[in-house]
Amino acid sequence: MKIFISHSQKDEKLAKELKKILEMPKKMDVFIFEKKKLFGKPIDKKITNELDHSDYLVAIITANSTNSSSVNQEMGYAQAKSIEKIPMVETGSEKGFLLHGTENVEFTKKNFKSKCIEVRNYILKNGPKRLFTEEEEIEIRKSAHYRYAVRHHILFFLGGMFYRLNMGDEAQRHELFYGIEPQWDKNGNLDQLRDFFKQDEDKLIEHFSKIEFSMYGKIHMEYDLLVNEFKQANRFPNHILPDKESDLVVELQEYIRNEPSETFDLKKHVRHWMKLDPEDNNCSKILNSKDRHTRLQIRQTLRFIIRDLEELYEILINLLKIYVIYQNKFGDIAFKRSS
């Protein structure tokens, strides 16, 4: 575990005593910034880097901390990054607004050592707060460019399906299609999309037969964009993916390469349907044609389209689930593009 000690320059002796206790026996990596901190200067990059990789920030608050810009900056940064703070406040010291509403460990000069042991026991009991190692972070950072682009196109494609295939109500379709990121599934739209495919097959075929031809053409165009994004993955430097993510990407690439070449050719189907009935903008009439062969042909084509969309959806949603885990575990670094 990594612990960051925040302190006033005048409390360096206390900080070193705390560090010694936290590291005995050596179970914690404790950081103290020993270079002189300049009053009024922006927070040092080395400090922010250490805080980013810390499980806890232990702040020593004394009368010396009242006017310490460094302690206030470090506490504020930790709060913004949701790093757990453990304030050790000397009796009679002004706490400051950053400690408002937090539980503090109150100490005096005489009992400081025993309070340090109390803090150490608390940290050991509660364990690490960071959910990933530095090695994991490096691996995730390497593929962030790729993941950002892929997630964008997956969400755009799924949003297009939801919108163009007339799923859900108008508000939901607008929300998913036009408000994809960052809260792309706050109302469970993607689960609703999965449930949509679980309907009775006859109802699904009837629903798809009423979709306007132009919408099929646009879905096909968005699918082409999605396919191209995966084919162009090598343009990103260091695009090697973690195993679970890589497995799903390979599965998706195999699906794209092997499965929908014929049945997912929506433009081809639309052109065929338009020839059968040039005056209509969907194939609902053709589906009810008096010609039995035509009816069967249309039903089979719609069945294939539905199957392909459902299979593709399952792969994409499983990949997005991993992305949700990455977002929760690593934060923005999982999708952060270089400036």
Domain with CATH 3.40.50.10140 in the chain: 2-126
For the ranges 234-238, 248-252, 295-299, the lowest mean pLDDT is seen at: 234-238
Residues 6+ apart with CB under 8 A from 208: 165, 302, 305, 306
What's 335's DSSP letter? T
- Give the helix/strand (H/E) hosting 88: strand 84-90
Q: What is the share, in percent, of the chain residues with pLDDT greater than 90? A: 25
pLDDT for residue 56 is more than 90:
yes
Beta carbons within 10 angstroms of residue 285's beta carbon: 13
Over residues 237-266, the mean pLDDT reads: 75
Sorting pLDDT into bands at 50, 70 and 90, what band is 70?
confident
pLDDT of residue 101: 59
Which one has a higher pLDDT value, 327 or 10?
A: 10
Sorting pLDDT into bands at 50, 70 and 90, what band is 67?
confident
What is the distance between the alpha carbons of residues 178 and 312, in angstroms, rounded to a whole number? 21
pLDDT of residue 4: 95
Residues 6+ apart with CB under 8 A from 100: none
For the ranges 83-87, 105-109, 187-191, 209-213, the lowest mean pLDDT is seen at: 187-191
pLDDT of residue 238: 52
pLDDT for residue 23 is more than 60:
yes
311-315: long-range contacts at Cβ-Cβ below 8 A with a sequence spacing of 24 or more?
Answer: 311/255, 311/259, 312/255, 312/260, 312/264, 313/158, 313/161, 313/193, 313/194, 313/197, 314/194, 315/248, 315/251, 315/252, 315/255
Question: What class, spelled out in words, does domain 2-126 have in CATH?
Answer: alpha beta
Over residues 175-187, the mean pLDDT reads: 52
pLDDT of residue 230: 75
pLDDT of residue 149: 80
Sorting pLDDT into bands at 50, 70 and 90, what band is 90?
very high
What is the distance between the alpha carbons of residues 94 and 15, in angstroms, rounded to a whole number? 18
pLDDT of residue 100: 62
Sorting pLDDT into bands at 50, 70 and 90, what band is 176?
low
Taking only the tens place, the pLDDT of each residue in 296-320 is: 999 999 998 998 888 888 888 888 8
pLDDT for residue 57 is more than 60:
yes
Sorting pLDDT into bands at 50, 70 and 90, what band is 190?
low
pLDDT of residue 110: 94
pLDDT of residue 163: 81
pLDDT of residue 200: 93
Residues 6+ apart with CB under 8 A from 331: none
Which one has a higher pLDDT value, 91 or 334?
A: 91
pLDDT of residue 43: 59
Cβ-contact 211, 269 below 8 angstroms: no
pLDDT of residue 334: 83
Residues 6+ apart with CB under 8 A from 113: 17, 21
Whole-number mean pLDDT of the chain?
81
For the ranges 141-145, 272-276, 293-297, the lowest mean pLDDT is seen at: 141-145
